[in-house]
Structures are given as structure tokens and as C-alpha cells.
Amino acid sequence: MRIVLFGPPGSGKGTQAGLLKEHLGLAHISTGDLLRAAVKAGSPLGLKVKAVMEAGQLVSDDLMLELLEERFAQADAAGGFILDGYPRNLAQANALDTLLARIEQPLDVALLLEVPQDLLVERLAGRAGAEGRKDDNPDTVRARLQVYEEQTAPVADFYRSRGQMVALDGTGRVEQVRERLLAAIGSTTASAG
């Protein structure tokens, strides 16, 4: 099973991908986690992207693709994956298409978590308090939400036009959202088989 999980910052992508990974035995590929690991390690890539992330902007498409290709080359990705945080614009959606065609791992479904903006702001403020992530401060959260609306939201139409998009209610308890996602994945598998 190959899944793209997307939605605005704070919609629960990372949270849900972690749970689905356990349940479905898939690799969890989070571009945000890959970038944060590079920043933490102080690698050349990490040094390049730190300021961009702290401003709530998108890291360049070329760097992201390089990072993703490296991650897909790891053994666990061959058995299926949940991609969390990528694609974040139409150029990335096209790049992903080309990459997945080349490695013969076409996408099964794109799942969109829908959450109203005031709840996103509330959740991210909660995480800022709990984890101290620099990009969760109110100014950066505003910038990230704007980037989402302008650049990432059109990705939904990209997948919708191919009949690969399922939009889900991302509000409520973590377990409730997880059940909705599993039901959507179940019906995708049933209609494919």
C-alpha cells in the first residue's frame, strides 16, 4: 500500500502516520522529520534548511527531491509507505509521480485531513508549549498556514482530478481520526481488489 497523507500544519499528519505505520506495517516517510534530523545533526543540508523552516517557508524542491530519493532507496520503503508532508506544491506532486513511476511503486491513494483553521492554531500552540518547536510560534504558524493555502491546497485538485483523493474529517480525538483513515484505506483496498 502506498499512501500520501496530507493536510494543513497541525492537521495530525505526523500523529496519524505514526499510528498507521504500526497498524499497516508500512514505512513512515516524513519529510519534516527528515529535515529536522538534518538540522539536529548539523549536516550541510541541515545548515541550509534551518532558517527556511524557522520562517515557515518551504525548503527548495530540488533539495526535497534529493532527500526523498535517498529515503525511498532504503529497504523498508519497498514494502509500501505512508508519505507525510510531501508533496507540498504542484511541482513536488509532479516530481513524486515521475519518481514513483521510475521505481515502479505507483500511489494507491492520497488522504487529506481537513481541520478548521482555529483548531489548527490551537493544536500548534499546544505543541509549542509541550515541545518548543521553533516553527510553532504564532507568527510562523500564520506563515505556514498561508503557504499551505497558496501552495499545498492545490495538490488536492491534482489528486482529485485522477480520482485518487479521499478527504476526511480530521477533527475529534486521535483514535476517531485513525478509525476514519483506516475505513478509507479499507475501501480503497476493496475497490482495487
Position 64 contacts ligand B4P (CB under 6 A): yes
What is the chain's alpha carbon radius of gyration, rounded to the nearest angstrom? Answer: 16
Stretch that binds ligand B4P, among 29-37, 38-46, 71-79, 155-163 (CB under 6 A): 29-37
142 is catalytic: no
Position 37 contacts ligand B4P (CB under 6 A): no
Which CB atom, from 9 or from 112, has the smaller least distance to ligand B4P? 9
- For residue 38, give the amino acid letter: A
How many residues bind ligand B4P (CB under 6 A)? The answer is 30
The answer, yes or no, to whether the previous bond of 106 is cis (omega within 30 of 0) is no
13 is catalytic: yes
2 is catalytic: no
DSSP characters over 134-183: GGGSHHHHHHHHHHIIIIITHHHHHHHTTT-EEEEE--S-HHHHHHHHHH
Beta-ladder partners of 110: 4, 165
* Active-site entry in 50, 71, 88, 123: 88
- For residue 59, give the amino acid letter: V
What residues are annotated to the active site?
13, 88, 127, 133, 144
Which residues contribute to the site for ligand B4P (CB under 6 A)?
9-15, 31-32, 35, 52-53, 56-59, 64, 85-86, 88, 92, 123-124, 126-127, 135, 144, 173-174, 177
